[in-house]
Amino acid sequence: MRLLALALFLSLALGQRLAVLGDWGQDTPGRAQVAALLRQEHAQSPLTALLTTGDNFYPKGQVVERFLQDLPPVPLYPAFGNHDAPNLEAQLRRFGLERPYYRLRLGDLEAFFLYTEGDLRAQRAWLEEALKTSRAPWKLLVLHRPLYSSGLHGGSPLLRGLLEPLLRRHGVALVLAGHDHHYERLEVGPTHPGGGGRRGGPLPHPAAPPLEPGPGRGPPRPLPGGAPGGPFGLRPGPRGEAPGPLPHPQPPMTCTWTWKTSCPPFSPTFTWTR
């Protein structure tokens, strides 16, 4: 099965609702389907903002400008990928940004955007300070290249080494990435890396066992004990808890994400409370 349109809808308590898409900067049949899906969702339940995981521009900016006109009228906050690098300055001006990494507070959620084509060590120092000062109940990392992936490009050992200790230490709940054009959801301890762009590749059969990242760039391995939440469920954390506890007290909150696609039977949903 191949996905022609793929978007993530992230719903938090108190009415916040975000849409996420990635690797979307091409004029393909899926482009119109993604735009229509986003407009439909916004009409049914208004979106707070739209986030991207990069590769916003492939060959020409005119394609993306047409797509932007088709999107629902909500603020758009991008990450930037390898296909954005050649015209990065123009993109920064287009989206009103001073640099390609930044933080964004949206009610109970704070999103931290990194630029995986830039100086990662300098960004790590910035991210560490930003996470230290954040008081948001929910913390989200958005970047282009994934920490873990079983796709064509694979995960990045460099990113894992630089970022994973920070994500664990500061209770980052979710990592969103693109680059590999498929749907994939993994849990690594208390931090949940979700990957996949707008264009999909072959997906596992619904009866296939859930997977965990393999070593390095190796293939993922079946999780022991079956799926806690369906065939695409996440592995429980310590003592069966979904995400691990934050290092400081937080009010109970619920966060739900749903992938919606042009293949209606495939719209997995996962909810967790902290």
Q: Write out the H or E segment, with its range, that includes residue 207.
A: none
pLDDT confidence of residue 33: 80
- Which tokens is 10 given? 């992230």
Positive or negative, the CA dihedral 12, 15, 16, 17 is positive
Positive or negative, the CA dihedral 62, 65, 69, 71 is positive
DSSP label at 74? S
pLDDT beyond 50 at 244: no
C-beta of residue 203 within 8 angstroms of C-beta of residue 266? yes
- Distance from C-alpha of 235 to C-alpha of 242, rounded to nearest angstrom: 7
- Which tokens is 30 given? 């899926």
DSSP label at 228? B
Mean pLDDT of 234-250: 33
Residue type, position 200, single letter = G
Q: Which residues pair with 24 in a beta bridge?
A: none
pLDDT beyond 90 at 112: yes
- Distance from C-alpha of 1 to C-alpha of 100, rounded to nearest angstrom: 35
Categorize the per-residue pLDDT at 37 as very low, low, confident or very high, splitting at 50, 70 and 90: confident
Q: Using the structure block, give the residue that is written with the tokens 């004029």.
A: 27
Q: Which residues pair with 259 in a beta bridge?
A: 8
End-to-end CA distance of the chain: 34
Residue type, position 80, single letter = F
For 88, residues 6+ apart whose C-beta sits below 8 A from its C-beta are 80, 100
pLDDT beyond 80 at 224: no
Task: Write out pLDDT tens, residues 60-109.
Answer: 555 567 778 888 899 999 999 988 888 889 889 988 999 999 999 988 88
Domain map (residue ranges) of the chain: 6-101+177-273
